[in-house]
Structure 1
Amino acid sequence: MKKLALIVTILFTTTQIYAQKIGVVDTNYVLSKLPQYKEAENRLNTQVEQWRSDLQQLQAEYERKKEAFENEKVLLVGDQLKLREKEIVDLEASVRNTIGARFGTNGEVNQLRSNLTKPYQDQIWNAIKTVSTKNNLGIVLDKSNNISVIFLDKKYDYTDAVLALLGKNTPKVEETKGNNISSPNSKNERGGKTNLKSKVNALKKKVMSE
């Protein structure tokens, strides 16, 4: 009797495993099709472009005043020399802090981008959960997360199903005032001197590529 119960349990478990299917969803594609998300992303990109322009101006001011100081240093003495040196050091620190505070790993750009996507990611997750239950999916993979899919039968791609569910059931999300893009007073502490010009150039390439 015990053997029979064990066999029944194994057969039932095996049946359940094989009954579950694997589905694939491209969440980046779904996000790109949400009008409210695209509008918010455009506002974010506009703000990032403004910050990039401000950084370029600050960098240009630093380079100009540093060059002038180097040319006039031999004529400066006492307090004049100290004041001009302090001005250059303060400008250098300002450029460095701006890079870290706005474009660093935990900077404003990444924080704002995370705040932008989270509400829509929650909506997509709920839609995926609904589609998974309806289609008896045991595993759902995200195509947008660098998953290498060599072959995928269209019937296992549930991206359109998730998008359709979002289109039917998700009301248009209004961007709240809490998402307005303002610059908080944040500081970035970094040790050692770096080549600011090359760092800013690298940052420009990174921002332009996003």
Structure 2
Amino acid sequence: MKKIVLVATFLFSLAQISAQKIGVVDTNYVLSKLPQYKDAENRLNTQISQWQSDLQKLQADYERKKEAFENEKVLLVGDQLKLREKEIVDMEANIQNTIGARFGTNGEVNQLRSNLTKPYQDQIWNAIKTVSTKNNLGIVLDKSNNISVIFLDKRYDYTEAVLNLLGKSTPKVEESKDNARPGVKNNDNRSSKDRMQKRAASFDSAKEMRTK
């Protein structure tokens, strides 16, 4: 009897799910079309560039001091040698701490980006709720979050509907959908960020090792 009830429940649930309309929205595309978001993102990128520049200066100063120390080490003795060694160690630690604080997993960059996107995510969420109610959608997928969609009938893509709803209070931006992705940088900035992230990851790993 229990098996029959379970099977009936499963079939009922399956029927309910299949009866629901599913919609898809590309939230990254919607974000890219909001001028206010793009302005805020530009400010964030300016701040990131400044932090990268500051970090590069620290790194250059460290390399210069370390090279001078290696060249003069044979002439140093006693406390003088220890002081110079400590200076190099402290400079390296400062660089690692700066990378972790700014570019680490819980660093200032991620915090600023989260604070930047939240108000716009809330706007998009409210617009999606309105569109879902209007179109009787039971499930809405975000195709910008690594969801693999093999085939999608255009009538189930509600990205433009959400954007049009938000567009009532925002001016239109003339860009193609394919090229309008937020956060696209040139190769130099991307490679620089990659290096920062790798060093930040190394810093986080080393920090975890020290705490164990």
TM-score tier, shorter chain, comes to: 0.7 to 0.9
CA distance in 1, matches of 2:19, 2:80: 81
After superposition, residues 46-61 of structure 1 pair within 5 angstroms as 46-61=46-61
Measure, in 1, the Cα distance between the counterparts of 2:191 and 2:98.
11
Shift of 1:74: 1.0
Flag the 1:146–1:17 CA change in 2: closer, same or farther, 3 A: closer
CA RMSD, 1 decimal: 2.5
- The answer to whether the 8 A contact 2:30-2:159 is kept is yes
TM-score (norm 1): 0.74
Cα distance in structure 2, aligned partners of 1:207 and 1:45 = 16
Give the aligned partner of residue 137 of structure 1: 137
- Residue 91 of structure 2 aligns with which residue? 91
Change (3 A) 1:106 1:14: closer
CA distance in 1, matches of 2:98, 2:13: 58
Q: Pick closer, same or farther for the CA change 1:13–1:80 going to 2, 3 Å.
A: closer
- 1:204 corresponds in structure 2 to 192
Q: Which residue type is aligned with residue 206 of structure 1? A: D
Q: CA deviation at 1:20?
A: 2.3
* Superposition deviation, residue 58 in structure 1: 0.4
Structure 2 CA distance for aligned equivalents of residues 120 and 206 of structure 1: 26
Give aligned pairs, total: 168
Gap regions ≥5 residues in structure 2: 1-11, 172-189, 198-212
Deviations 1:132-156 (A, max 9, x none): 0110000000010111111111100
Summarize the Cα distance change of 1:116–1:207 in structure 2 as closer, same or farther, 3 Å threshold. Answer: farther
Partner residue, 1:125: 125
Aligned partners of 2:22 and 2:137 also within 8 Å? yes
Equivalent positions of 1:146-165 (< 5 A) are 146-165=146-165
In the TM superposition, residue 13 of structure 1 has moved relative to its aligned partner by 8.3
Q: Residues 28-67 of structure 1, C-alpha deviation per residue, up to 9 Å, x if partnerless?
A: 0000000000000001001101111111110111111011
Is the Cα–Cα contact under 8 Å of residues 35 and 170 in structure 2 kept in the other structure? Answer: no
Give secondary structure in 1 for the equivalent of 2:168. helix
CA drift at 1:78: 2.1
Equivalent residues of 1:19, 1:136 under 8 A apart: no
User: Hey, what's the Cα distance between the residues in 2 that align with 1:162 and 1:83?
Assistant: 62
Q: 1:79 to 1:125 in 2, by over 3 A?
A: same
Partner of 2:105: helix, strand, or coil?
Answer: coil
SS of match in other structure, 1:99:
helix
Q: Percent identity?
A: 86
Offset from partner CA, 1:87-142 (integer Å, 9 cap, x none): 11110111110110001111111111111001100110110011001100000000
> Does the aligned pair in 1 maintain the 2:26–2:144 contact within 8 Å?
yes
| CA pair 75-135 structure 1, distance change in 2 beyond 3 A | same
Q: Within 1, Cα distance between the matches of 2:17 and 2:69?
A: 74
> Unaligned 5+ residue runs, structure 1?
1-11, 172-201
Distance of 2:125 and 2:60 partners within structure 1: 45
Cα pair 2:99 2:196 within 8 Å, conserved? no
Amino acid at match of 2:132: S
